[in-house]
Amino acid sequence: MLALAPLSLLPGLEGVNIMDLIFYAIFIFVSMAIFTLFGQRIQVWRLLSQVKASVRKLKMMRDEGRRIAVERLGELGGDEGVAEKVDRFIEHFAIEPESMDPAGVVWKLERILDVREQKFLDEVRRMAPKASDEEVHNLEGLLEAALALNALYKIVRHYYLLGKRTASLFIIAQLQMLMPLIMKMARAYADALVAFREGQPIGDGIGALVAAKLMHGKPFKPLV
């Protein structure tokens, strides 16, 4: 049986087996080849797995928002078809006016927002006929939060599938970098769902509530 002699011709390699050197050289070459040929694809797979987890969380938030809306509308007189009405509602979207319109866009945007709000309130009144005016506005806010969660989920899912289909590192990397901000927005909308369901004040409404509590039971005089 023949044995390979140790490398004694080069300084520092005395006693080193040539088979070990060959193995190390092959390992380094194969590793470099893999990372050269498949490095970008491996990175795409890693980023896709991270984005996929966020998409799954967004879907859970969207479904929870829909469930809360259906449940609350059912408590206020919603019929058996309220779930389908909620599904139709959260798919609503408004098209903004052209920003380059020389006639101006502010008044047009104001008109669109006014019509949108009135349409939402009318739709809520039809879905919850037993709701008071305050409850109608709370329900409208609840449904808008559910609508926003649905929009976030669909937009993120669209770019996730686009990046997955094209294996584009640029699309997936940009989406992955934006996901912390998107998830923070989604959590804010998810928290708003509970607040609107319970009728808790949000934003400017809490200032009036604090002022009312401070004034309660105190003497006052009417303003002339």
pLDDT digits (tens, 9 = 90+) for 81-101: 888 888 899 898 888 887 777
Where do we find the tokens 């520092």? 12
Domain housing 192: 46-199
* pLDDT, tens digit (0-9, with 9 covering 90-100), for 139-160: 999 999 999 999 999 999 999 9
Does some domain include residue 187? yes
Q: What is residue 106's predicted lDDT score, i.e. its pLDDT?
A: 85
Instruction: Give the pLDDT confidence score for residue 189 in this predicted structure.
Output: 92
Q: Kindly report which listed range (20-34, 71-85, 123-137, 180-194) carries the lowest average pLDDT score.
A: 20-34
Q: Is residue 158 part of a domain?
A: yes
Tokens of 182: 């998107």
Total domain count, the chain: 1
In-domain check, residue 15: no
Q: Residues 105-122: what's their mean pLDDT? A: 88
21: in domain: no
Which amino acid, 146? A
The DSSP result for 62-117, as a single string, is HHHHHHHHHHHHHHTT--TTHHHHHHHHTT---PPPPTT-TT-SHHHHHHHHHHHH
Q: Which residues of 139-152 are buried (b: 16+ CB within 10 A; e: fewer)?
A: bbbbbbbbbbbbbb
Q: What is the pLDDT of residue 15?
A: 56
Q: Mean of the pLDDT values across residues 27-41?
A: 69
How many of the other CB atoms lie within 10 Å of CB of 52?
Answer: 13
- Is 1 domain-assigned? no
Percent of the chain with pLDDT over 70: 87
Beta-strand ranges (E) seen in the chain are none
Whether the model pTM is above 0.85: no
Domain assignment present for 146: yes
The pLDDT value given to residue 224: 64
Q: Flag whether 26 is in a domain.
A: no
DSSP state of 216: T
- List Cβ neighbours of 35 (8 Å cut-off, separation of 6 or more): 42
Name the nearest CA neighbour of 138 among 206, 201, 196, 75: 196
- What number of other Cβ atoms are within 10 A of residue 15's Cβ? 7
Has residue 155 been placed in a domain?
Answer: yes
CA distances from 79 to 23, 65, 140, 195 (A): 73, 19, 17, 24
Cβ atoms of 51 and 164 closer than 8 Å: no
The string of pLDDT tens digits covering residues 1-17 is 444 444 454 455 555 56
The CA distance from 201 to 76, in Å, is: 20
